[in-house]
A and B are shown apart, each in its own frame.
Chain A
């Protein structure tokens, strides 16, 4: 495999991880919790597309976005909001419970057999290089989404409120910011990004089952930690780093060990720089 192919693959896998990692990192930064049900939102999105794809792909994708956002809002309201201020461990266990709930619900209502879908968007040839249209679309859309999110956070009132809440919830309240609505918006954005990631992952693997979101979810979580959890640029960097690792090792005889290598790198990052690549320690000035 040549270098250009590795770069393109790295960017497309990395873009997907980054979109998922953004959900983890934003929820962590703003709601101060690890939402381990985040990966299962990907599964909800992928199933929605599979089940509606024969009707119309567009309807499928839009429904996936809407449904994921709704599930995100409901999960936050029903499961996490009552625990605001509770011990982090209780919240963590609840998140794992929500994850199992979503997986089991999928098994009960849709079945445990994987559901498939065939899709071929064709490929583009550039000289000797063959790039699938899907890969290209993945890169373009994930870059656009990340740029949009960065601008949203920097230049909108809600975006700045998110930064404020993530830095100091009490001080944010003293500005008149409603923390609960900021957290709801965070879940909406995170779930929409997870839905998009689910669509791309589905088109790539062409099959979905109830644990579809588990592996990409946990890898994107690793990406968020590698980049520095709580940091939006960190999640993007972490996602792309992980994408490149995957693309590079996929081109070597070590390809079967990619998962192990990725988590080993997570451990190394945590040993060397526990706050992640772009994470920082807070200092208080007196």
Chain B
């Protein structure tokens, strides 16, 4: 059984049907990507899957449990979280306090928390250097690292990342994709949403192409990066 299974998901904003009945699944251990242009409905899909915005219809199953009607904060306790688009770190809190917020859902002992935070600092040495700095003063790249570290603090089985490469320099983009691969290798399943189709398909086991609220194509990362349609629309010829 898939770790995450989304069936016939529909989402509307008023009369506008943003997501028109899509189905996809993410198996344990995979990196799965949704690619698509601006406005295709990628972020809406992510946010409604995790329960941040209401679904009009459809069914979402996570780890064998029906989470269609479960509010976001409870879904996080079940082991699924998201690095939101635009990072959305808590600007007024320090790096350390942001990571503390990340561990909000984890009922653990002090020692476990220490181990978790050390692991995050190890993965993102920059965060360790700046742990007492207020997050609002970090650079865009550092904020992305913090948003990812914060999400990892909740010990997710499934980590969703919404446009993690947005607005970053090419060097940082490569770094972010390397880190995603590492996180996956360490046992976290990844659902990625990206406009950077080339880079994300290269690290994906499978991918779906989203256009105007519908899935128009799916396959392995390799298949999609070789598909004429994807090449033309998303990889620049």
Q: Which residues of A contact B (CB under 8 A)?
A: 157, 160-161, 163-164, 167-168, 170-179, 282-286
Contacts and interface: CB of A to CB of B under 8 A. Distances in A.
A220 B92 CA distance: 25
Contacts of A178: 71, 73-74
A171 B83 CA distance: 9
A253 to B, nearest CB: 44
A175 B97 contact: no
8 contacts: A171-B89, A173-B73, A175-B76, A175-B150, A175-B154, A176-B74, A176-B105, A177-B104
Contacts of A285: 87, 136, 138-140, 143
Given A170-B52, A173-B73, A175-B104, A282 B154 contact: no
Contact of B88 (A157, A163, A170): A170
A168 B140 contact: no
Contacts of A286: 86, 140, 166-167
Interface in B79-135: 81-82, 84, 86-93, 97, 100-102, 104-105
Contact of A171 (B77, B90, B166): B90
Given A173-B76, A175-B154, A176-B81, 7 more contacts: A163-B90, A163-B93, A167-B91, A173-B71, A174-B151, A177-B101, A285-B136
A86 to B, nearest CB: 14
Q: Which of A174, A178, A283, A285 has the most CB of B within 10 A?
A: A174
Contacts of B104: 157, 161, 175-177
Given A160-B97, A164-B101, A286-B167, A176 B90 contact: no
Across chains A and B, which 3 residue pairs bring their CB atoms closest together, nearest first?
A176-B105, A176-B76, A171-B88
Q: Which of A160, A173, A179, A284 has the most CB of B within 10 A?
A: A173
Nearest to B83: A174
B230 interface: no
A160 B88 contact: no
A168 B85 CA distance: 13
Interface residues of B, number: 36
Contacts of A161: 101, 104
Per DSSP, chain A at the interface is helix
A176 B77 contact: yes
Given A175-B76, A175-B102, A176-B154, A163 B86 contact: no
Contacts of A179: 73
Given A161-B104, A286-B167, A174 B84 contact: yes
A164 B72 contact: no
A285 B88 CA distance: 9
B86 A284 contact: yes
B73 A168 contact: no
Contacts of B180: none
Nearest to A283: B136
A160 B92 CA distance: 11
Nearest to A285: B140
A172 B93 CA distance: 13
Given A173-B76, A174-B72, A176-B73, A168 B82 contact: no
Q: Which of A168, A170, A177, A285 has the most CB of B within 10 A?
A: A285
A175 B101 contact: yes
Q: Which of A163, A175, A178 has the most CB of B within 10 A?
A: A175
A263 B111 CA distance: 53
A272 to B, nearest CB: 24
Contacts of B150: 175
A172 B81 CA distance: 11
Contacts of B82: 174
A55 B81 CA distance: 54
Given A176-B77, A176-B154, A282 B102 contact: no
A179 to B, nearest CB: 7
B65 to A, nearest CB: 16
Nearest to B77: A176
A176 B151 CA distance: 10
Given A175-B102, A175-B104, A176-B154, A167 B72 contact: no
A175 B105 CA distance: 7
B31 interface: no
A20 B66 CA distance: 44
Contacts of B90: 163-164, 167-168, 171
A163 B98 CA distance: 11
Q: Which of B104, B150, B154, B167 has the most CB of A within 10 A?
A: B104
